Amino acid sequence: MELRPVTGGALRDWYDRELTQAFPPNERKPLPNILALIDQGRYEVWGLFEGEALLGYATLWMEPADKSCILLDYLGVTAARRNGGLGSQIVRMLAEQLAGKSLLLIEAERPVEGDDLAENALR
């Protein structure tokens, strides 16, 4: 597995296939806004790949002039690969990549319980 940038046409595929499926509209940045942030050097999209298959992703938001603190904006794993530890692996890989250069800031929301008791326990 390899963590590498998602660029070019793969960005639209990532957005359409992954981000729009995993995050509700009120929690999702519009793609034009993400692309504008990328053009400004303020945003990066990283994918965890096995060959050419995307397994998961992380997006990073930063200030180009001072990358001492970087915000993990989105973290996701493709639907077929969830709950297998890949999200944690992505965070570890990012932390290793940024070690000694930047502080990775992570925000987490309180889980909302649903009707499925097994899923609640997993959360």
pTM of the predicted model as reported, rounded to 2 decimal places = 0.83
Count of domains in the chain?
A: 1
Write out the residue range of the structural domain in which residue 111 sits: 2-122
Residue 120 has pLDDT above 70, yes or no: no
pLDDT in tens, 77-102: 998 888 888 999 999 999 998 888 88
Phi/psi of residue 52, nearest 5 degrees: -100, 0
SS3 state of residue 113: coil
8 A C-beta contact, residue 76 and residue 56:
yes
Looking up residue 47, the CATH number of its domain turns out to be 3.40.630.30
* Largest CA-CA distance found in the chain, in angstroms, rounded: 46
